[in-house]
């Protein structure tokens, strides 16, 4: 007996490396990562959902989202670091670390829109999360703005 006739075997999808997504986003990560666009593969139309796995200290570059982002940790241990923009002078932004937090399996965190941050694996560990990216008022995925940075005092927007 099938309680939900719309739920079929075709609705299930195994997470695997999305090589085209990884090729598009490779310059935004430091170290070895696996990316998977969950929303594309199972047909979610009203939000963007990604799986990211970071190996041996790999992490994102500094960035912010024009919409909020929720991270749900599914594997390992990692770190989330939030920054304050102290001064924007042309292409160079002076930054100051505001909050650093350890993340472990089962943790969920909401990163407010326009909050400068990075997240990734603890050195020598694997860290994975599912990211739920908020939509803009136009019902499209909000943009992510990426930066090259020394993670201490300066950041430069990546064109």
Instruction: Flag whether pLDDT at 16 surpasses 90.
Output: no
According to DSSP, the residues that pair with 124 across neighbouring strands are: none
What's the rounded mean pLDDT across residues 8-26? 73
Region for residue 139 given its phi and psi (left: phi exceeds 0; alpha: psi -120 to 50; beta: otherwise): left
Instruction: Flag whether pLDDT at 136 surpasses 90.
Output: no
What's the rounded mean pLDDT across residues 23-45? 87
Q: Are 145 and 63 in contact (CB under 8 A)?
A: yes
Of the pLDDT bands very low, low, confident and very high (cuts 50, 70, 90), residue 147 is: very high
pLDDT for the residue numbered 146: 96
Instruction: Flag whether pLDDT at 10 surpasses 70.
Output: no
84 phi and psi angles, rounded to 5 deg: -110, 140
- Does domain 15-157 fall under CATH 3.40.50.300? My reply is no
What's the Cα-to-Cα distance from 126 to each of 18, 77, 96, 120, 131, rounded to whole Å? 18, 7, 27, 9, 16
Distant-in-sequence contacts of 102-107, Cβ < 8 A, 24+ apart: 102/77, 102/78, 103/71, 103/73, 103/77, 103/78, 103/79, 103/127, 103/129, 104/73, 104/76, 104/77, 104/78, 105/73, 105/74, 105/75, 105/76, 106/73, 107/71, 107/72, 107/73
The per-residue b/e assignment along 41-59, b for 16 or more CB within 10 angstroms, e otherwise, is eeeeeeebbbbbbbbebbb
pLDDT for the residue numbered 1: 42
pTM: 0.86
pLDDT for the residue numbered 42: 73
What's the rounded mean pLDDT across residues 114-128? 96
């Amino acid at each position: 007996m099938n309680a939900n006739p719309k739920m079929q075997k075709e609705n299930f999808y195994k997470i695997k490396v999305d090589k085209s997504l990884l090729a598009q986003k490779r310059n935004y990560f430091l170290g070895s990562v696996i990316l998977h666009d969950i929303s594309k593969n199972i047909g979610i139309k009203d939000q963007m959902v990604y799986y990211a796995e970071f190996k041996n200290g790999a992490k994102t570059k500094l960035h912010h989202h024009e919409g909020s982002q929720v991270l749900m940790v599914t594997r390992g241990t990692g770190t989330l670091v939030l920054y304050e923009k102290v001064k924007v002078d042309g292409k160079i932004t002076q930054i100051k670390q505001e909050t650093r937090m350890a993340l472990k399996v089962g943790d969920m965190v909401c990163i407010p829109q326009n909050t400068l941050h990075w997240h990734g694996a603890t050195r020598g560990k694997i860290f994975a999360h599912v990211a739920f990216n908020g939509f803009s008022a136009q019902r499209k995925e909000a943009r992510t703005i990426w930066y090259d940075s020394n993670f201490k005092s300066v950041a430069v927007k990546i064109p």
